[in-house]
Structure 1
Amino acid sequence: MSTVPCRTACGIMRAMNLLLLHPDDQLDDALWQISGRRAEHLRRVRALVPGQRVPAGILNGPIGTAELLSDDGHMQHFRFQGDQVAPPSLPLTLILALPRPKMLKRILIDATSLGIKKIILLNSFKVEKSFWQTPELKQSLLFEKMILGLEQACDTVLPTLALEQRFRPFVEDRLPALSQHSLRLLAHPGEHPSLPAGLAQQVTLAVGPEGGWTPYEVDMLRKAGFACHSFGQRILRVETAVPAIVGRLMKLP
């Protein structure tokens, strides 16, 4: 399938390397239909014609190929066959201070593409209250960004995404159990040991807002078992820091 990028609704250039079929697309055991963005991409970028096949997968299901049976300019019909499993996920839970809405779009796509399957957006003192009111936090839009990440990475398993607006209750009441049996790392600027590299074990990583967590938040996270680590002397934008940190920290499958 073509890896030529297409412009999505959020204005980000992404490649659709996998036709991701959703449960609502299924007509019977092997017959599927799609329209809208996915069909337009296959029609205009791939120039797909009946009889041709493309890599495809079912959301939270197997991967295989889909043969285009017909295209009336609006609706496309496919026959899907698949018996391959999705690529391995990263043993990483990402806790992220809610970033600016424009950054959030890119971070969700990139985190999903990297194989992160558990993402928690957390409040922080430095997070503007207006960020929690943005339409970008609508479940449908968050779902859309993660779908784009799956299509990019030829993956089918959708991450779980949680929004936590109250820092202290989350850290005190839910984080200890959530991060149990994992290496707990806190990415924070300052004179701290460098982040480890090439890990294959279960990790829970907390990444703060630009400029880092507040001293109170650092103290709370430390009490929850997190150790501070730095990622060099440069202060990075969150959308740059997340993929860079994950790429260093984890052994990517």
Structure 2
Amino acid sequence: MSAPILELRNLSAGWGSAPAIREVSLTVERGEIVTIIGANGAGKSTTLMAISSILRPMSGQVLYEGADTASVAAEKLPAMGLCQVPEGRRIFPRLTVAENLDMGAYFRKDGDAVRHDMEHVFELFPRLRERRDQKGGTLSGGEQQMLAIGRALMGRPKLLLLDEPSLGLAPLIVEHIFAIIRRINEESDMTVLLVEQNANLALGLAHRGYVMETGRISMTDTAENLLQNPDIRRAYLGE
């Protein structure tokens, strides 16, 4: 059996001297969609920032494709196949849609393939094609989320990190975005680690899930089992 594409071993990280996450261990196998669910402030986004080398571990390890990423700068990870769609989207507001997508491929030298991949993004998100010459800052929130995902896809990631992709968006837009995430995973076998406050949505999409409470992993199971777990349903699904 091949090694997981991502493994966290007793990872603690945070700001200053106080860890926001403590001794977090999890694995993501190739081709999986794995989700981390939990309340606001549980440490989900901090975990993604530590995986992306934005935060350095206080202790423990982040292993990507079997290698410890502690010494790898955050800006080097996309070229290694690890791309993140951050919370709040963080597109370039003064650049056009097409220019934003080009930024996702900044490290690539295969111009023809980059153009092909941009066409694929436009096929996934037709609204972006309609607005390709429009400034990113003038797009709606849903369109900006599509653009942020499209920008990450331009790097041809092996592992895509998604941080709260449903945040602040209308239900129909969220449904469309989650359908695209499923399609990307099924068509290209791209691995996805999804952080999401909407547990129902996340567990409906994922293969497996981890529950995070106050900076620690409190439970892990298949997404189907977590959806049926009465404690999860009470705590996160409002039942």
TM, length-normalised to structure 2: 0.28
Q: Which one has more relative contact order, counting CA pairs under 8 Å at least 6 apart?
A: 2
* Structure possessing the higher radius of gyration over alpha carbons: 1
More helix by share: 2
TM, length-normalised to structure 1: 0.27
